[in-house]
Amino acid sequence: MGSIVLNNLGKVYGEDTVAVHNVNLEIKDGEFVVFVGPSGCGKSTILRMIAGLEHISFGEVIINDEVMNNVPARDRDIAMVFQNYALYPQMTARQNIGFALEMRKLPREEIEKRVLETASTLNISELLDRKPKELSGGQRQRVAMGRAIIRNAEAYLLDEPLSNLDAKLRSQLREELSKLHARLGVTMIHVTHDQIEAMTLGQRVAVFSVGHLFQYDTPETLYKSPNSIFVAGFIGSPTMNFFEAVSTRKASELSISVGKRKIGIQNYQERFNINQDGKLLVGIRPEHINWGNHSLELEDGFLANVEFIENLEPESYVTAIFDDKEIKTLSSDDLEKFSKGTSETFSGTKDPVITFRVSSENLPQKNSSILISLPPEKLYLFNANTGQSYGKEIKW
């Protein structure tokens, strides 16, 4: 088992295409870390640099206090599971799993013993004499896992190993992977673009976009204290709602104008580092929004019209449009701009729209007028230019 440190790690393709920018990150011995981010964010490239499959343009990969930059892949003692499994087609499952031990010249009996142990751990004992083409996707995935875990490697790298499986099998294997890590206690890095996978598997999660590491923390902290609008928007489903707003400080109260209405945050200094008045971005998660029928009185309520209901059990997603057209809500294109760093202007959505999560037993009527309230204690505030959170860092 081993600890891994990435020190200013970077990757440049060709003359000036920077795929990974100065990533600094530490993975403790025995930790399960997930790299998550949209496609092309550089997460797999980083994994491949750790494995020794990709040349390191600058910075260092340190495994167990030893700089690995110039150590070939086969000498790094790293095991990896590939997205397409990469099983050796001419070998049976047994030979595939035992191959790494064979290369290390272990005695035949020892290899056989460990292959059987590994196969029993992964429930594939009866598949050992089959070749990869005779196995289903899930079975191949298990054999690929077996090929990795049979070794006592320093670290285990999993490059989107669940992405080719159907939803049910994926959730089953996610659980098994989690149990496997708990049992083996080895250092694991799992790469995925699926935030649910990241949140359920990772002890710590590193969120990447366009080659930058945005935040590296526990799933809970990422959800509750995102450090940027990109992380806030990426983590959580449905995604967080964002509005343009103007803030004014009055003693211990921060007054936030969203459209024609004002929301007051008391003792704002306890939660936010805001030193100036002016434009900012407000975020709120769909599960934190309160709603009521038009007739009900809600303090600081916003009038809105129910546009669309996505019926799920036991909770449904409701999309409504604010009556106040002065409210400007951010579109996914705007969030994309923030994923690349900063945004100067927002295109916004066509209508000011908000999505919230409600119990399916208590759904509003479609096209009905409702009142929506945004609880001040649940609001997130972000710098309108840089997308950085104004929230004080709270560890969860």
- Considering the complex, state which of residue 133 and residue 168 has its C-beta at the smaller distance from another protein: 133
- Considering the complex, state which of residue 71 and residue 363 has its C-beta at the smaller distance from another protein: 71
Let me know: does 50 contact 78? Beta carbons within 8 Å: yes
User: Within 13 Å and on the Cβ side, how many CA atoms surround 119?
Assistant: 20
Binding-site member from 34, 80, 111, 180 for another protein (CB under 8 A): 80
How many CB atoms within 10 Å of residue 83? 16
Letters for 89-128 (x = contact with another protein by CB under 8 A, - = none) are: xx--------xx--xx------------------------
Binding-site member from 51, 165, 235, 335 for another protein (CB under 8 A): 51
Q: Is 140 an interacting residue with respect to another protein (CB under 8 A)?
A: no
Cβ-based burial of 215 (10 A; exposed 0-12, middle 13-18, buried ≥19): buried
Count of residues that interact with another protein, criterion CB under 8 A: 23
Q: Is 74 an interacting residue with respect to another protein (CB under 8 A)?
A: yes
In the numeric block, which tokens belong to residue 318? Answer: 């409701």
Binding-site member from 8, 84, 120, 123 for another protein (CB under 8 A): 84
- Considering the complex, state which of residue 18 and residue 100 has its C-beta at the smaller distance from another protein: 100
Q: Is 86 an interacting residue with respect to another protein (CB under 8 A)?
A: yes
User: Within 13 Å and on the Cβ side, how many CA atoms surround 107?
Assistant: 3
Tell me the C-alpha to C-alpha distance, in Å, between residue 66 and each of 20, 54, 60.
22, 18, 10
* Segment interacting with another protein, rule: CB under 8 A, options 84-92, 135-143, 232-240, 310-318: 84-92
Q: Is 312 an interacting residue with respect to another protein (CB under 8 A)?
A: no
In the numeric block, which tokens belong to residue 239? Answer: 């995604």
In sequence order, what are the beta bridge partners of 122? Answer: none
Q: Give residues 353-372 in contact with another protein (rule: CB under 8 A).
A: none
Q: Is 71 an interacting residue with respect to another protein (CB under 8 A)?
A: no
Let me know: does 66 contact 80? Beta carbons within 8 Å: no
Question: CA 87, CA 374: separation in Å to the nearest integer?
Answer: 52
User: Under the rule (CB under 8 A), what is the footprint of another protein?
Assistant: 51-53, 72-74, 76, 78-80, 82-84, 86-90, 99-100, 103-104, 147
